[in-house]
Amino acid sequence: IRAIVALSTPLIIGVLRRSDVLAEAMEARGWHPGPRTALNELKFTARDRRIMLSAALVIGLLWYLY
């Protein structure tokens, strides 16, 4: 257990230091949570339904024939 503590302590300290540096870098670049990009949300249309139904029918027919 002493060996684990001896190895994990420097590791935890290094991780905390790195996270602090990363947080400062993010703040310096003006990062903030929230919407960042213009996301084009895809919509499921009637055409998509027809294509899925056609694909399901073809797969079903191939499965039935073999």
C-alpha R_g of the chain: 27
Q: How far is 51 from 66, CA to CA, in rounded Å?
A: 23
Q: What share of the chain is helix, strand, coil (3-state, %, to 5)?
A: 70, 0, 30
Q: How far is 52 from 25, CA to CA, in rounded Å?
A: 46
- The confidence band for 39, taking pLDDT boundaries of 50, 70 and 90, is confident
Which of 27-31, 34-38, 53-57 bottoms out in mean pLDDT, i.e. has the lowest? 34-38
- Please state the rounded mean pLDDT for residues 20-36: 84
Answer with the residue of higher pLDDT: 46 or 38.
46
In the predicted model, is pLDDT for residue 34 greater than 80? no
In the predicted model, is pLDDT for residue 37 greater than 90? no
Rounded to two decimals, the pTM is 0.43
Structure tokens at 61: 């027919």
